Amino acid sequence: MTTLRQYLVNSFAEDGFAGNPAAVCIVENWPSEAQMQKIALENNLSETAFCLCLSDDSIEPQFHIRWFTPGCEVDLCGHATLATAFVLFKHYFNDAGVLHFKSRSGDLHVKKTDDFVILMDFPSYSLEEVRDKAEFEAVAAVLGETGKKMETLFKGIDYVAVLKSAKDVAAFKPDFGKIASLRGDYNLLITAQDSKYDFASRCFFPKEAIDEDPVTGSAHCTLGPLWAKHLGKNELTAYQASARGGILHLTVGKDRITIGGRAVEVYR
């Protein structure tokens, strides 16, 4: 069996017991897809990232990155990208200014600040409001009692249910079987304006073998533009109200979004 260097990093966290844990595997050659999927299943984390160096330029190195849940490979993952960048900046490319990643979602660029906040340049995704009554009611039914507090429903990559308050977001008790029964490939994000932060959210991906993701960078490629438009501001602070919790700093542009956060290495 091939030996890989693997790190466990908590993303969007200030300490070792918060944020979203991701495994990072630095590879010299790609394992088979079957092997990568088995490693992700063995780790049993929401994401395992695999990273291959393409160019070891000391200032702007280039990589290929792939992300696996315990159930499948995904197109984009924010917290595992942050974790990978943290590992690369800390252990491999201390002097680098920018890391460039090739991925299934195109080219991604990551910087770090002087105090080691990781800034990720990601695509932003648009949403359309769901106006079909039957579709609205189907999602409301999945939310149960919380469905009565859904003010607006959007869809893009996933469904985004806007609730009346951040307290409703925190109090929601999910039925993962019902969420998995949503039409097509849609998973579910719930969100609301918050008094301490600009907005709060929770994210559920049972179709990808992740019941509730602790902190989801990629979901904010959708949530950030939504709230930037609603609040009339492009600089936002978001809180993902999972049991572990996490804070994300967002700068929303026309077609791109910068997602920033800290990370903590747990082991290697």
In the structure encoding, which two tokens stand for residue 31, read together?
Answer: 């394992």
Maximum Cα interatomic distance, the chain, rounded to a whole number of Å: 55
Give the C-alpha separation, 86 to 193, whole Å. Answer: 30
φ, ψ dihedrals at 147, nearest 5°: -60, -25
Is-contact 78 220, C-beta < 8 A?
Answer: yes
3-class secondary structure, 2: coil
Q: Which residues, 6+ apart, have CB-to-CB distance to 221 below 8 Å?
A: 76, 78, 122, 123, 124, 125, 257, 259
Residues with a catalytic annotation lie at: 47
